[in-house]
Amino acid sequence: MSERAKLKIEGLSLSFGDLHALVDINMEVRGRELLAVIGPNGSGKTCLLNCITGFYRPQKGRVSFDGQQVTKLPPHKITKLGIARTFQGIELFTGLSTVDNLLAARHLFFNSVAMGAPAGAIYFGPGHNEEIRHRKVVEDIINFLEIESERHKVVGMLPYGMRKRVDLGRALALEPKLLLLDEPMAGMNLEEKEDMARFILDVSEERRIPIVLVEHDMGVVMDIAQRIVVFDFGHQIAEGTPVEIKRNPAVVKAYLGEEV
């Protein structure tokens, strides 16, 4: 029996005027799998993530998460349901420290404001205890991603690869049930890519979080993905295991050029 889909996309179509960014996309993310989405630039990969997270509203089709349709929900409600993402361009608070960037992602879980103005304004008591709980979560992520030495450094001063790692940490701080990674290794050197690939695998295997990975580095994709979906000009042209994708003539013609 196949594993129940965590995320299900049915007949998804997105257009910008005469430009068809996505055309009748049907795919799913199962259980705890690591699914990669590949394709040439402009093939619709980021558009897909934007539809899943509510940044774009598709003209047709539906997106379901844990059995609930989320197609028309605003981004903040989709995030509360457990979908977190990183961005192709790093979208961090560059003037804040690593710790503060991760704490900022915890705002969805702060309850002191709901207790009333006094509890939210006074640091001692419930507000203090709550901050301690959130800091423990953040410190666990910092240890997990091995960024202890960058804990109190201003993010805008960190090396590019380290900022990418902080971006992943911020997504993890949302306690996701599904993690969407938009080109997490773009612009990295070989060592940085190897580190990021290791952390992505650890998120998948140790934290058991299903992942949708959009990535151009085919060596990395073929090494870590369990299943791959291929886009070309907004169309879904193939789906299968890395071995199947490498041997698919349509994929070789549209994207790979030769077997990886």
| Residues in contact with 78: Cβ distance below 8 Å, sequence separation at least 6, in sequence order | 52, 53, 54, 65, 70
For residue 234, the SS3 value is coil
Task: Output the pLDDT for position 233.
Answer: 92
Tell me the pLDDT of the chain averaged across its residues. 89
Structure tokens at 33: 């799998």
Give burial (CB, 10 Å; 0-12/13-18/19+) of 65. buried
User: 109, 129, 163 — which closes off a domain?
Assistant: 163
In this structure, is residue 168 part of a structural domain?
no
If one compares 35 and 2, the residue with the highest pLDDT of the two is 35
Based on the domain organization, do 251 and 222 belong to the same domain? yes
In this structure, is residue 150 part of a structural domain?
yes
User: 140, 163, 186 — which closes off a domain?
Assistant: 163
In this structure, is residue 87 part of a structural domain?
no
Neighbours of 198 (CB within 10 A): 12
Based on the domain organization, do 78 and 99 belong to the same domain? no
What CATH number did the domain enclosing 218 receive? 3.40.50.300
For residue 232, the SS3 value is strand
Based on the domain organization, do 150 and 124 belong to the same domain? yes
Q: Mean pLDDT throughout 212-240?
A: 94
Instruction: Label each residue of 7-72 as H, E or C.
Output: EEEEEEEEEECCEEEEEEEEEEEECCCEEEEECCCCCCHHHHHHHHCCCCCCCEEEEEECCEECCC
d(CA 251, CA 257): 8
pLDDT by residue (tens digit) across 114-161?
A: 444 455 455 555 666 777 888 999 999 999 999 999 999 999 999 999
Domain of 19 in residue numbering reads as 5-82+176-256
Task: Output the pLDDT for position 257.
Answer: 62
Domain count, the chain: 2
* pTM for this model (two decimals): 0.89
User: 163, 193, 213 — which closes off a domain?
Assistant: 163
Based on the domain organization, do 127 and 67 belong to the same domain? no
Based on the domain organization, do 101 and 221 belong to the same domain? no
